[in-house]
Amino acid sequence: MPEAMGFFTDTTVCIGCKACEVACKEWNQLPAENGGVGTLSGDSYDNTRRLDGIHWRHVRFIEQFKGPYDGRWLMMSDVCKHCVQAGCLEVCPTGAIIRTEFDTVVIQSDVCNGCRACIAACPFGVIDINPVSGTAQKCTLCYDRLKVGLEPACSKACPTDSIQFGPITELRQRAQKRVEQLRAQGTKADLYGADPKGPLGGLNSFYLLVDKPEVYGLPAKPQLPTRNLSKSAGFSVASAAVLGVLALVGLRKHRMDDMGGPGGGGGGGGQN
């Protein structure tokens, strides 16, 4: 059984070159958007804007500027988090989403029927429909490359080693050292998703951030979708019981009215 593999993304060394986006698109033969005609976001240098069915990597540009010379750029190459407890895998009704021998989460495109339950279940907004296949798609952590001993295309292409690939235990140690180094330099730095006792049992793609997770478009405390199941089902059953009682009480009242009224028939539950 191979070790759990994943990504450690050090956002402090990301230069926003988008080599990872291009490598991902190329290796996975993902189609172009809008027929290949570029569309500009109009309010940011980030024109990809989001992860979806045809963008499995997205270099997020966060422009924190108060004025033309007062601010900073934050950049983060975003991707599927390959959660240890994955909401998408939990709700998938077809069994299309599986956990691989590398502890990564993969959607089998030939099994998925495009119901989109996984899209709503993912707390990170990672998954979407690929309009070409009609199925839900996202990063596979290059499962096909891993199977033959290759590194994922994005981390291979990253020129600054912002995206680092390897066994999760090793990556966590490396990330912790980097956090300590940055803090010693006076830079605020925290790991997001590296704690196996944290939300979702830890993320197999985790990040080093220098601001709050929300600034990077990441939820502070991501949760599994099934957290609401028992309470929601319980309230539904209770309301059904209330309606059942109301229906029967109403029926009995009508019977009593019939019996009390002139020419009213007797009770009895007979029919036909």
Partner 1 sequence: MSDTFFSGAPHWTWFIIPYFYVGGLAGGACFLAAILEWFGKPEDRPVVRAGYDVAAVGAILSGLLLTVDLGQPLRFWHMLFQSEHFPAIMFKAWSPISFGAWAILLFGLFSVLSALGAKAEEGRLRNAALRAVGGVVRGGLAKLVSGVGGILGFFIAGYTGVLLSVTNRPIWADSPWLGALFLVSGASTGAAMLILLAPGRGAAQRSVEWLSSFDTSALVVELLVLALFLVSLGSINRVWLSFWGLVLLVGVVGVGILAPLRLHTKPAQAAKLVLLGGFLLRLATMLGSEGIDRYRLAAGM
Contact 4, 204 (CB under 8 A): yes
Report residue 208 CA to chain centroid gap. Answer: 18
Judged by CB under 8 A, the residue of 135, 140, 155, 204 near partner 1 is: 135
Distance in angstroms (rounded) separating the CA atoms of residues 240 and 35: 50
Contact between 72 and partner 1 per CB under 8 A:
no
CB of 261 to partner 1, least distance (A): 10
Contact between 256 and partner 1 per CB under 8 A:
no
CB of 151 to partner 1, least distance (A): 28
Alpha helices in 28-95, H assignment, sequence order: 87-91
Residue found under tokens 């028939």 = 265
The phi, psi pair for 26, rounded to 5°, reads -70, -50
CB contact set of 115 (below 8 Å; sequence gap of 6+):
93, 94
Contact between 159 and partner 1 per CB under 8 A:
no
Contact between 97 and partner 1 per CB under 8 A:
no
Site for partner 1 in 29-68 (CB under 8 A): 43-44, 46, 49-50, 52, 60, 62
Distance in angstroms (rounded) separating the CA atoms of residues 3 and 167: 6
The footprint of partner 1 on this chain (CB under 8 A) covers a number of residues equal to 77
Contact between 129 and partner 1 per CB under 8 A:
yes
Binding to partner 1 by CB under 8 A, coded x per residue (else -) over 210-249, reads ----x--xxxxxxx-xx-xx-xxx-xxxxxx-xxx-xxx-
H/E segment holding residue 171: helix 168-184
Closer to partner 1 by Cβ: residue 84 or 121: 121
